[in-house]
Structure 1
């Protein structure tokens, strides 16, 4: 749906480490990096990317949802994100209020952003 999303973070190193570890189960890696004021680009080769840069401005609430191919990836994201310092905001599970196969997990990242991994596929 998008090419890239870029937003500021108040602790560049902590946020970079958090997103790299939390999103590793989804195949996300560091693609390029400049000075903290320019930032880092992470993603999977050929896909949309997430870009972070250092700022002292407190960003407004942001909700980022990352597509997972399997429910296991959602579970792995959740564990990795908590291990990286994220705070629980919704354990892995079905969210039938969205649709019957909406399997997601939510964590709060270093700057208070709501980070989600979601799989829309039925169990096979």
Structure 2
């Protein structure tokens, strides 16, 4: 679980299409956050946690940073194995790249996930844990 995280992307429209596509099976939506960013999370009524996605250069970036130089990894809670599959399919259809097909992961009891690289190379994951029912969205 996280409060918020943020990533910088090169093309905001392309990124929003990708995140809108993978959000649908996970029950997540995007919302405008100015003309150079959007936020991605559960709803206006439940705004935290969220992912900030934008084209602005963050003030906290180290010298030499640029989009995609330090790959970000974010795992979203999936409500079911079917949602993990739908996330993976939607992400590929929306311009993402397969980075780990849906399936169980060794060393993590009850864990089932899928990995995608978003259009800027960030590692985005959907994770279902059948042994932790309180994590259902």
TM range (shorter): 0.7 to 0.9
The aligned residue for residue 49 of structure 2 is 48
TM-score normalised by structure 1 residue count: 0.88
Number of residue-to-residue matches in the alignment: 119
**Are the equivalent residues in 2 in contact too, given 1:69–1:121 (CA < 8 A)?**
no
Q: Which blocks of at least 5 consecutive residues in structure 2 are unaligned?
A: 58-65, 132-137
Structure 2 counterparts to residues 93-104 of structure 1, below 5 A: 93-97=103-107, 99-104=108-113
Question: After TM superposition, where is structure 1 displaced by more than 4 Å over at least 4 residues in a row?
Answer: none
How do residues 78-93 of structure 1 correspond to structure 2 at under 5 angstroms? Answer: 78-93=88-103
Give the Cα–Cα distance (whole angstroms) in 2 for the partners of residues 30 and 112 of structure 1: 19
Root-mean-square deviation over aligned CA pairs? 1.5
Task: Indicate conservation of the 8 Å contact 2:31/2:39, yes or no.
Answer: yes
Match of 1:109 in 2: 118
Q: TM-score, normalised by structure 2?
A: 0.80
> Could you tell me how far apart the structure 2 residues matched to 1:58 and 1:100 are?
34
